[in-house]
Amino acid sequence: MLTSQGKNQATLILIKPDGLKKSLTGNILTRLSETKLEIVGAKMVRVQRELAEEHYKHLKDKPFFEELIKYIQGELHGRRKVMALVYWGEDAIAKCRALAGATNPEEAEPTSIRGAYGRITTKGLYENVIHVSSTPEEAEREIKLWFKPDEIIVDLYPKKKIIIKEKEESIWA
């Protein structure tokens, strides 16, 4: 019998600063492992303002934009980092979005990650613990923003080699 097979997709997951502060990393990774998707990239990131603004540029005109930038940069939680991951596999976006739950934590399924651990701040911002890309196009844009090609262990998107001369970088002393 033919079964309808979904396509392999990649999605960007961010464990936001509230997720880190609430020690939810292990819990969230365990929940996501139910999907049987593969982690193909992972790192801790100190989020610069430029990255934050680019990531959330679709919300630039919203009244909560400034607060949102502070949130993803960790200024609301004294945790200036996020954990960035790329999950890959069949229907990755829908599977991860379902586990994450609705954007508004009050409307999210109580058993979803956002429903269980999210909150709305007194300023009205949804602190919802986790980010998940919502379409393949958004995933591609976001993954390219957060990761370099060599930081991902599969070939997701076309890439090219360049030679960079006299580039300063840190090496172990």
In the region spanning residues 24 to 53, those forming contacts with ligand IDP, defined by CB under 6 A, are none
**Cβ-contact 91, 7 below 8 angstroms:** yes
Tell me how many residues contact ligand IDP (CB under 6 A).
Answer: 10
In the region spanning residues 104 to 163, those forming contacts with Mg ion, defined by CB under 5 A, are 134
- CA dist 47 → 75, 121, 139, 142 (Å): 10, 21, 18, 14
In the region spanning residues 94 to 153, those forming contacts with ligand IDP, defined by CB under 6 A, are 103, 124-126, 128, 131, 134
Calpha distance 45→152 (Å, rounded): 15
Query: How many angstroms separate the first and last alpha carbons of the chain?
Result: 60
The residue type of 98 is A
> What is the closest distance, in whole angstroms, from the C-beta atom of residue 105 to ligand IDP in the complex?
9
Q: Which is nearer to ligand IDP, 54 or 159 (CB)?
A: 54
Q: Which is nearer to Mg ion, 81 or 141 (CB)?
A: 141
- The interface partner of residue 128, options being ligand IDP, Mg ion, none and the CB cut-off 5 to 8 Å by kind, is ligand IDP
Helix/strand/coil (H/E/C) assignment for every residue in 105-166: CCCCCCCCHHHHHCEECCCCCEECCEEECCCHHHHHHHHHHHCCHHHCCCCCCCCCCCCCCC
Annotated catalytic, 77?
A: no
Q: Residues 50-79 vs ligand IDP: string with x where CB under 6 A?
A: ---------x----x---x-----------
Calpha distance 104→13 (Å, rounded): 17
- The interface partner of residue 158, options being Mg ion, ligand IDP, none and the CB cut-off 5 to 8 Å by kind, is none
> What is the closest distance, in whole angstroms, from the C-beta atom of residue 30 to ligand IDP in the complex?
21
Q: Which residues of this chain interact with ligand IDP, rule CB under 6 A?
A: 59, 64, 68, 103, 124-126, 128, 131, 134
Binding residues for Mg ion (CB under 5 A): 134
